[in-house]
Chain A
Amino acid sequence: MTKKIIINPVTRISGFMEIQADIENNQVVDAKTEGLLFRGFEKMLQGRSPFDAVYFTQRICGICSTAHSIASTLALEDAMGVVPSEQGRYLRDILHGCEFLQNHIRHFYQYTIPDFVKLPEDYPLFKAEHSDFRLPKEKNNVLVKSYFHSLDISRSAHEMLAVLGGKAPHNHGVFIGGITTQATTDKIIKIKSILHNIYQFINDRMLSDVYTIAEYYSDYFYIGRGYGNFLSFGYFNGYKSLGTLYLNPLVYTDGKTSVLDPDNITEEIDYAWYTDRQSTDKPFEAAPGCMMNSEAQTNEQPEADMNKPQAYSWVKAPRYNNLPFETGPLARQWLSGEYRNGISTMDRTIARVLEARKIALIMNTLLQNLIPDVSMQKKYAIPEAAAGKGLIDTARGALGHWLKINKQVISFYRIITPSAWNLSTRSSNGVKGTAEQALMGTPVKDINNPVELGRTIRSFDPCISCATHIYTGGKHINTIQVIP
């Protein structure tokens, strides 16, 4: 007999989400992930000053705001023909690195650990219902200590960000050309000192903590696989003198790695709460000539529609070559060849921790190559009409911003977030999103406390605040009729 499990809220993620799963013989036979928050950033951005996108889009997400400042800045630079200096790129990537560390440390300790470690129950916040806590007392105690210790470390990652970024969340440092201020020696050494402490914590504590969990929950190496398709827009790559410190834009499917071509990206809305004349479209091609011609189409925005019968989420379905892809730390560790142990809930969790160490090392390299006191700001003029895209990997994976400027204001904005890739709804042909697929076959021991599902979903580090701001337009490439 089929039993239905509904988990809502899925706590310890950013934003609001529901998991629905059908269970037969204690195994998941069908699953849906639903994003339950809608704001409509893409529509809000229309008519605003292009410069303001750098600050405005950060408000999409409180835990990964720097990511949006970077992607919007890249899109603006592309549209305006501004090439940042190498020093500007180093500094911007250092700021972004601070956020990777903040995000990965908080995700591992505050969002993931409570699934596996019994936290002290004299705190009401830590009351947990399931009983699948397997660590022996002494090891459990070590991880409880780490939970609290990590709070100081992740906070210091944001402190490091603020040294050059003004404040966090929602920094003021990232901007066209590089960063706003100059990296003076006192600031460089302050960042180096904080980074040193963070690196030590990752190396001495975080790595052994994740391997402790892996040892006692080794069945999670066989749960939560998904499709095994990986995608990255690349990061810490293509520096003039330093080359690629992490990875280039790549995709992996059917056992083969190839170079990413952004033209293969589409988004579908068949199972999301939107209606449009077509259900599949493509982020625009960045040729300004085409842009003006498609202006009329651009203005025909699909509407939010919660009455659409088969829809179940605010998250759309980004696809690459019409296939769902996973993006994030495991995708990057896999594509760069740094970690290829396997594809599972536990591998995803381990890859995030390994990546934290990698990012700290890359940041150190970039810091060593800084020249102090370099100014990189100019008086920028907004073009009358232009278009640009900013594709970059962020803590959770591949993030894309596409924008058009007309009459010196934003006329079009599209955002495809990492969590839209990972937590996507089904394709038009019914193919599940990556996380939905990862839930398939999961054994559920206690149907009243299905802790297994949340563990797998959290391994993707969902950010539903990011994934469900969508309100799209753009050039349509085919004509599939949807419910009017």
Chain B
Amino acid sequence: MSNESIMCPEYKARLNTATSLVETVKMQLRQGVLRKRNLVWLELTGCSGNIISLLDGSNPDFKYLISEMTHFIYNNSLSASEGQNAMEQLFSVLGSDYILAVEGAVATKNNGLYNIIGRLNDKPLTAMEAVKSLGEKAAFVIAIGACATHGGVSAARPNPAECVGVQSLLNRKVINLPGCPCHPDWFMATLAHILLYGEPELDIRNRPLLFYSTLIHDRCPRRSYFDKGIFAEKLGDKTCMFKLGCRGPVTRIDCPIRQWNQYVNWPIEDDTPCIGCAQFGFPDAMEPFISYNTTREVKR
């Protein structure tokens, strides 16, 4: 076993923060060592919340992403063109080097007709067809958010649109960035890693270890209350929310040390349990999100 594999993941995470990765990209682009690569961001069956989350990113921000890091070719929420022209713009990347980012699940019911993302050559284009044709030929495919990685809320029981994650449609490696939504840094630094060093180190479910290595519970600022058995009884309390249904003990993600929206807060600091949105199985396997004593005796 190499020394690297037993290094403390938190220490590693600190060495490779999103900002330092992006700074290196910036420098290398300036020096001409690195070239900008084409990026396509598909929105499929979901809430389009991951592109909104991307706009919430800072250092690097969206402007930096489209100006300095990539040729950002297409996104449904942001492209100036529309209709057939927009579809031609999207498919112009075929035959070139491009990275495919996908948010949203793939609806498979009725041969994919539950989600039509445009019209190509006078025919409706399903999300399913788009993912297949763009996904097989991309240099990298990054699934962003819970829906794209494993179906997420779009595939919640009874899954009326028969949604699946992107990986289920493609015979190739898909880098998974679960989360509802995906934190902008998780995407930006994964992209930066690809631009600089190629594929980042992934776990067995193809999540970058940089972000997904450690349980929330292991780095939770309220961990000492858990260890002492001091538990919150309601939302708004300042102690451990394990008994309110906190999914920190099963969710591997760096929220406690990263935080959200200019790093001002995160769900546990807001006195609510983690609902496990960055874990596979969200939402069905993570519910109920709020209960007032999960360790109560079950009446039979």
Q: How far is the CB of A239 from chain B (nearest CB, A)?
A: 22
Question: Is B116 touching A8 in the complex (CB atoms < 8 A)?
Answer: yes
Interface membership of A51, Cβ < 8 A: yes
- With beta carbons under 8 angstroms apart, the residue of B76, B152, B267 that contacts A11 is B76
**Residue in contact with B260 in the complex, picked from A10, A55, A167, CB distance below 8 Å:** A167
User: Which of A11, A148, A465 is close to B46, meaning CB atoms less than 8 Å apart?
Assistant: A465
Distance in angstroms from B282 CB to nearest chain A CB is 10
Interchain CB contact under 8 A, B80 and A126: yes
Give the distance in Å from the alpha carbon of A174 to the alpha carbon of B290 in the complex.
13
* Beta-carbon nearest neighbor of A181 in chain B: B271
Contact mask B59-78 → A, CB, 8 Å, 1/0? 00111001100011111111
Question: Would you call B288 and A51 a contact (CB within 8 A)?
Answer: yes
User: Please, how many angstroms separate the alpha-carbon atoms of A61 and B180 in the complex?
Assistant: 11
Interface residue tally for chain B (C-beta within 8 Å): 82
Among the listed stretches B157-165, B166-174, B196-204, B222-230, which one makes contact with chain A, having 4 or more residues with CB under 8 Å of it? Answer: B157-165
Contact status B81-A59, CB under 8 Å: no
Inter-subunit contact A170/B264 (CB<8 Å): no
Chain A residue with the shortest CB-CB distance to B244: A379
- B-chain residues with CB within 8 Å of residue A61 when the two chains form the complex: 47-49
Q: Which residues of B contact A306 (CB under 8 A)?
A: 110, 113-114
Selected from A8, A39, A163, A376, the residue in CB contact (under 8 A) with B265 is A163
Supposing A127-B89, A166-B272, A471-B160 touch, asked if A48 and B287 sit within 8 A by C-beta, the answer is yes
Q: How far is the CA of A181 from the CA of B267 in the complex (A)?
A: 10
Q: Is A212 an interface residue (CB 8 A)?
A: no
CB of B236 within 8 A of CB of A151, answer no
In the complex, A38 Cα to B105 Cα: how many Å?
11
**B240 interfacial contact with A, CB 8 Å:** no
| Chain B residues in 8 Å Cβ range of A168 | 56, 260-261
A9–B78 touching, CB < 8 Å: no
Judge whether A423 is part of the interface by a CB distance below 8 angstroms. no
Q: Point out the residues of chain B lying under 8 angstroms from A155, CB to CB.
A: 55-58, 61, 261-262
- Contact size class for A? 35 or more
In chain A, positions 155-196 with a C-beta closer than 8 Å to chain B are 155-156, 158-159, 161-170, 172-173, 175, 180-182, 190
Interfacial chain B residues near A205, Cβ < 8 Å:
none
* B18 at the A interface (CB under 8 A): no
**Quick check: is A304 within 8 A (CB to CB) of the other chain?**
yes
Give the distance in Å from the alpha carbon of A315 to the alpha carbon of B50 in the complex: 23
Q: Are B86 and A9 in contact (CB under 8 A)?
A: yes
Q: Is A56 an interface residue (CB 8 A)?
A: yes
B272: which of A56, A172, A190 is its contact (CB, 8 Å)?
A: A172
Contact between B290 and A49, CB atoms less than 8 A apart: yes
| Distance, CA A259 to CA B142, complexed state (A) | 50
What's the Cα separation between A10 and B85 when bound, in Å? 11
In-complex Cβ contact of A38 among B46, B51, B71, B107 (8 A): B107
Also in contact, A159 and B264, with CB within 8 A (given A16-B115, A16-B117): yes
Smallest CB gap from B283: residue in A? A56
Q: At the interface, yes or no: A43 with Cβ under 8 Å from chain B?
A: yes
Interface set of A (CB-CB < 8 Å, partner B): 6-16, 18, 36-40, 43-44, 47-49, 51-52, 55-56, 59-63, 65, 106, 110-111, 114, 119, 123-129, 148, 151-152, 154-156, 158-159, 161-170, 172-173, 175, 180-182, 190, 304, 306, 375-381, 454, 465, 471
By a beta-carbon cutoff of 8 Å, the part of chain B in contact with chain A is 45-53, 55-58, 61-63, 66-67, 71-83, 85-87, 89, 107, 110, 113-119, 124, 152-154, 156-161, 163, 180-181, 233-237, 260-262, 264-267, 269-272, 275, 277, 283, 287-292
What are some 5 contacts across the A-B interface (CB < 8 A)?
A49-B288, A62-B49, A63-B49, A125-B78, A126-B80
Counting from the closest, the 8 A-B pairs by CB-CB distance are A62-B49, A40-B160, A166-B270, A162-B261, A377-B236, A167-B260, A62-B47, A49-B288
